Amino acid sequence: MYKLVTKRVLSDVSTLFEVEAPLVARKAKPGQFIILRIDEKGERIPLTIADSDPERGTITIIFQEVGLTTKCLAKKEAGEYIADFVGPLGKPMEFPEHPGRIIAVGGGVGIAPIYPKVKGFYKAGMDVFSIIGARTKDFLILEDEMRLVSKELHVCTDDGSYGRHGFVSDLLQNFLADGEPIAEIIAVGPLPMMRAIVNQTRPYGVKTVVSLNPIMVDGTGMCGACRVTVAGKTKFTCVDGPVFDGHQVDFDELVARSRMYQAEEKQALGHCRCGCGGEH
Amino acid sequence: MEPNVTKKHPMEEQKPAERVKNFSEVPYGYNMETAIAEAERCLECKKAPCRQGCPVEVDIPAFIGLIKEKKFGEGVFALKDKNNLPAICGRVCPQESQCESFCVRAKKGDSVAIGRLERFLADWELEHGVDVPELPASTGKKVAVVGAGPAGLTCAGDLARMGHDVTIFEAFHMPGGVLVYGIPEFRLPKEVVRKEVDYIQRLGVKLRTNIVIGKTITIDELFTEEGFHAVFIGTGAGLPTFLGIPGENLLGVYSANEFLTRTNLMKAYLFPEYDTPIKVGKNVAVVGAGNVAMDSARTALRLGAENVYIVYRRSDKEMPARLEEIHHAEEEGVQFNLLTNPIKISGDENGWVKGIECVKMRLCEPDESGRCRPEPIEKSNFVFAVDTVVVAVGQTPNPLVPQTTAGLKTGRRGTIEADESGKTSRAGVWAGGDIVTGAATVINAMGAGKVAAKAMDEYLRSLPTT
């Protein structure tokens, strides 16, 4: 059993937990993830390691309520326990080979997973220009934390309820256009956003990496549920990723595969055991 | 009951029409009368040729003799002297090609049903309460076992019975390895696995789940930080092989590993009571003809598929599955398409599988190696309309440990190199089971765990006492 040490509600739909997992905390590196299961009947789901504290022996996870497991997890309180928590899994992120600016783009659900990467660059003494955006103000999280580790932070909302009115791609365009050399762009968010960003940067020939979050079961290369086509070859996100060269990723296939259990995901919400009743 | 000399006593089992609707175990096992009658068929040969067919050297005539005398408790004791997991072995060992193939009775008729008798005794014990043998004084030596599958459980149990302090590290949330994620409930009930793992723990073996050796802790750290004196690696062959044909990433295409792990370990057959879903259409193609393919095909039927096709590029003689598994699959209505090779999976506009294109094959004359290579028959292409494809063409060793352990020699196919005692190129590190041999059987993995335990015991006793 793994103790949920602290809880912070970041927005109506986003929650942060620090989880007691000393062995994972000792090893975790930016870009890696964990797999958790709430109880005996639960599903195994992957979540990015948002932060780790080896001294306190904790791992921070941040998640948006998108399905049964995340909804039930959000109902938990500090001091409660979850059944399983395993990691760190996947490859740590790499640092860019070329000099120049690093631009981090986090959209909606992608803000949480981009944060540890920006922090990783920051700790390595690199300047990161960050862009975060969401549909509306309520979905915008970690603004203060992102500001602390970024050289510049640009914020936008689709509906103009906070920050600049527009999409993260609009803000990114300014960087692509201003002529300053860019070492790498890292984009994390919903699949349509990541696809839009890689299409946007492709003509500029700027290296653009994405961090993927497909359906997984074991997270150790055993099942192949998380397979993705990169540069024409099948890769397993859990062991070969989760970070890949975005210009090489087959997003059409990823989008299709993400819908594999759409019907079952809806059905599961009607059978929750935590009392959330699957409400939205 | 009159002892039947030439035939095995049949074992009652669920009728095919009934069992395809549930996940309950297919064979019921012998009752006491049948077990005793079958035991009477054993000649208790002095030389006991059957024993050379057993990778863990069980004293077969001894336990069968005790069944004859109705001394079941003592029979269990004789059985478990060599085999820590008899209820599992009694169900999944390929006895027909091991102990039973050496049985003198097999020269004229059926061999003694050694496997069924083993299961009978093991089940008798699970029902009547499991006793733990007296353990020797502690040697003070700590051993780490990586992987709670058949090899690791056996090695751990034996080392504990030799007085060592053993801890098993398991990546999944539950011990058992392939016994819980791979082999279906209807062939090996998970309650049986749980009870046998419980026995291993009662021998003093500690179990730490949710730890991925190579990620959470490395082999080196097991020595330097966790204070272990020796390590056994039994991480198995967990990596799925795909066919490398177009369309393999379409929706509805599963590796057998994923298909079985969702169903068995995550209990997707009980969705939505359990949270993990699985999707099975009306028409399912399972590619391959080994035990894993049979398990997948029979699972698909139980999950509601109407037509399940085995697609295999060689002929029936080359099918690697146990005869019993093929027989059960046939009885249940699995349709075998042999000398049939898939070349492409096609999908609909939403990316879902709609068909698998195959080509008919013929076997050419055997070459010098004696194996017939299948070759495609021109213009014999045809399409099965299916909505699910399960790829069951083999597994390869998991690279997580070799990749993160300096000085551990590996073979060409990613296996860890080890000598006949399981000793690897790293001092204090042994390995056994599928990680050394490539995908094989539960009992061979157990045999390797047993051999390694013996060698590790010698090594541990040669170390200075701390």
The span from the CA of B384 to the CA of B374, in Å, is: 20
The span from the CA of A257 to the CA of A265, in Å, is: 14
Largest Cα separation within chain A, whole Å, is: 54
For the segment B447-466, what is each residue's pLDDT rounded down to a tens digit?
999 999 999 999 999 998 76
B430: β partners: B232, B423
Evaluate whether B217 touches B211 at the Cβ level (below 8 Å): yes
- Number of structural domains (chain A) is 2
Burial of B181 (0-12, 13-18, 19+ CB in 10 A): buried
Q: What is the CATH number of the domain that holds A144?
A: 3.40.50.80
For the segment B205-220, what is each residue's pLDDT rounded down to a tens digit?
999 999 999 999 999 9
The span from the CA of A68 to the CA of A52, in Å, is: 25
| Cβ partners under 8 Å of residue B425, min gap 6 | B407, B408, B409, B417
Domain for residue A246, yes or no?
A: yes
The span from the CA of A240 to the CA of A91, in Å, is: 7
For the segment A163-185, what is each residue's pLDDT rounded down to a tens digit?
999 999 999 999 999 889 999 99
Looking only at the bridges linking them, the beta strands covering B374-376 and B353-363 are: antiparallel
The answer to whether residues A147 and A211 belong to one domain is yes
The reply to whether residue A234 touches residue B249, judged by beta carbons under 8 angstroms, is yes
Measured between beta carbons, the chain B residues lying within 8 angstroms of A37 are 173
| Residue span of the structural domain in which A33 resides | 2-89
The answer to whether residues A127 and A59 belong to one domain is no
Q: Which residues of B107-123 are buried (b: 16+ CB within 10 A; e: fewer)?
A: eeebbbbbbbbbbbbbb
Domain for residue A265, yes or no?
A: no
The span from the CA of B98 to the CA of B100, in Å, is: 6
From A223, A234, A264, residue closest to B271, measured CB to CB: A264
pTM: 0.94
Q: What is the CATH number of the domain that holds A31?
A: 2.40.30.10
Does a cis peptide bond (omega within 30 degrees of 0) precede residue A88? yes
The answer to whether residues A80 and A117 belong to one domain is no
pLDDT for position B1: 47
Nearest CA in chain A to B274: A41
Does a cis peptide bond (omega within 30 degrees of 0) precede residue B272? yes
E strand or H helix at B356, and its extent?
A: strand B353-363
Shortest CA distance to B149 belongs to which of B214, B92, B96? B92
For the segment B147-202, what is each residue's pLDDT rounded down to a tens digit?
999 999 999 999 999 999 999 999 999 999 999 999 999 999 999 999 999 999 99
From A37, A256, A260, residue closest to B279, measured CB to CB: A260
pLDDT band at A138 (very low <50, low <70, confident <90, very high): confident
The DSSP secondary structure of chain A, one letter per residue, reads -EEEEEEEE-SSSEEEEEEE-HHHHHH--TT-EEEEE-STTPPPEEEE--EEETTTTEEEEEEE--SHHHHHHHT--TT-EESEEEEEESPPP---SS-SEEEEEEEGGGHHHHHHHHHHHHHTT--EEEEEEESSGGG---HHHHHHH-SEEEEEETTSSSSEES-HHHHHHHHHHS---EEEEEEESSHHHHHHHHHHHGGGT--EEEE-----SSSSSSS-TTEEEETTEEEEHHHH-SEEEGGGB-HHHHHHHHTTTHHHHHHHHTT-SSS-TT--
Q: Indicate if the pLDDT at residue A54 is higher than 50.
A: yes
The answer to whether residues A166 and A192 belong to one domain is yes
The reply to whether residue A264 touches residue B279, judged by beta carbons under 8 angstroms, is yes
- Whole-angstrom CA distances from B346 to A202, A260, B211, B279 are 30, 16, 39, 18
The answer to whether residues A105 and A75 belong to one domain is no
Give how far B149 is from chain A: nearest CA, Å.
14
The answer to whether residues A117 and A183 belong to one domain is yes
**A256-265, B82-91, B369-378, B453-462: segment of lowest average pLDDT:** B369-378
Q: Over chain A, what is the mean pLDDT?
A: 93
pLDDT band at A277 (very low <50, low <70, confident <90, very high): low
Mean pLDDT of the region B402-411: 92
From A223, A261, A270, residue closest to B258, measured CB to CB: A223
The answer to whether residues A32 and A110 belong to one domain is no
Evaluate whether A272 touches A42 at the Cβ level (below 8 Å): no
Domain for residue A273, yes or no?
A: no
The answer to whether residues A57 and A172 belong to one domain is no
Assembly ipTM: 0.94
Measured between beta carbons, the chain B residues lying within 8 angstroms of A257 are 249, 251, 351
From B172, B210, B277, residue closest to A85, measured CB to CB: B210
Does a cis peptide bond (omega within 30 degrees of 0) precede residue A242? yes
The reply to whether residue B211 touches residue A86, judged by beta carbons under 8 angstroms, is yes
**B243-247, B339-343, B360-364: segment of lowest average pLDDT:** B360-364
Measured between beta carbons, the chain B residues lying within 8 angstroms of A85 are 210
Identify the contact set of chain B against chain A, taking CB-CB distances under 8 A: 171-173, 181, 209-212, 215-217, 238-240, 242, 248-252, 254-255, 257-258, 261-262, 266-267, 271-277, 279, 350-351, 398-400
E strand or H helix at B153, and its extent?
A: helix B150-161
The span from the CA of B444 to the CA of B401, in Å, is: 21
Q: Indicate if the pLDDT at residue B2 is higher than 70.
A: no
Domain for residue A188, yes or no?
A: yes
Our measurement of the distance from residue B142's CA atom to the centroid of its chain's CA atoms, rounded to an integer in Å, reads 28
Domain for residue A269, yes or no?
A: no
Measured between beta carbons, the chain B residues lying within 8 angstroms of A23 are 211, 216-217
For the segment B121-161, what is each residue's pLDDT rounded down to a tens digit?
999 999 998 889 899 999 999 999 999 999 999 999 999 99
From B173, B181, B261, residue closest to A83, measured CB to CB: B173
Residue tagged 């999707």 (tokens): B279
Shortest CA distance to B404 belongs to which of B432, B437, B421, B429? B429
Domain for residue A154, yes or no?
A: yes
pLDDT for position A269: 87
Nearest CA in chain B to A91: B215
Identify the contact set of chain A against chain B, taking CB-CB distances under 8 A: 23-24, 27, 37, 41-44, 68-69, 83-89, 217-218, 220-225, 227-229, 234, 239, 253, 256-257, 259-261, 264-265, 267-268, 270-271
Strand, helix or coil at B320?
coil
Measured between beta carbons, the chain A residues lying within 8 angstroms of B250 are 256
Q: In residues, how long is chain A?
A: 280
The reply to whether residue A222 touches residue B271, judged by beta carbons under 8 angstroms, is no
| Cβ partners under 8 Å of residue B305, min gap 6 | B280, B281, B282, B283, B284, B388
Using alpha carbons only, give the angle B56, B59, B63 rounded to the nearest 5 degrees.
125
The last residue of a domain, from among A35, A69, A89:
A89
The reply to whether residue A86 touches residue B171, judged by beta carbons under 8 angstroms, is yes
The span from the CA of B276 to the CA of A271, in Å, is: 12
For the segment B358-393, what is each residue's pLDDT rounded down to a tens digit?
999 998 877 777 767 889 999 999 999 999 999 999
The last residue of a domain, from among A64, A89, A114:
A89
Shortest CA distance to B363 belongs to which of B319, B331, B326, B404? B319
Shortest CA distance to A172 belongs to which of A199, A143, A211, A137? A199
- Whole-angstrom CA distances from B99 to B93, B105, B114 are 10, 12, 7
The answer to whether residues A128 and A84 belong to one domain is no
The answer to whether residues A56 and A186 belong to one domain is no
- Tell me chain A's radius of gyration from C-alpha atoms: 18
Helices (H), B81-133: 86-92, 114-128
Mean pLDDT of the region B262-284: 96
Shortest CA distance to B311 belongs to which of B366, B300, A228? B300
Domain for residue A96, yes or no?
A: no
Provide the percentage of residues in chain B whose pLDDT is more than 90: 88
The last residue of a domain, from among A58, A89, A120:
A89
From A88, A227, A261, residue closest to B279, measured CB to CB: A261
What is the count of residue pairs from A and B with beta carbons less than 8 Å apart? 115
Evaluate whether A3 touches A16 at the Cβ level (below 8 Å): no
Nearest CA in chain B to A228: B249
The answer to whether residues A81 and A117 belong to one domain is no
The DSSP secondary structure of A113-171, one letter per residue, reads HHHHHHHHHHHTT--EEEEEEESSGGG---HHHHHHH-SEEEEEETTSSSSEES-HHHH
The span from the CA of B232 to the CA of B144, in Å, is: 6
Q: Is B304 left (phi over 0), alpha (psi -120 to 50) or beta?
A: left
The answer to whether residues A147 and A254 belong to one domain is yes
**Cβ neighbours of A231 (radius 10 Å):** 11
Domain for residue A279, yes or no?
A: no
Shortest CA distance to A132 belongs to which of A101, A169, A95? A169
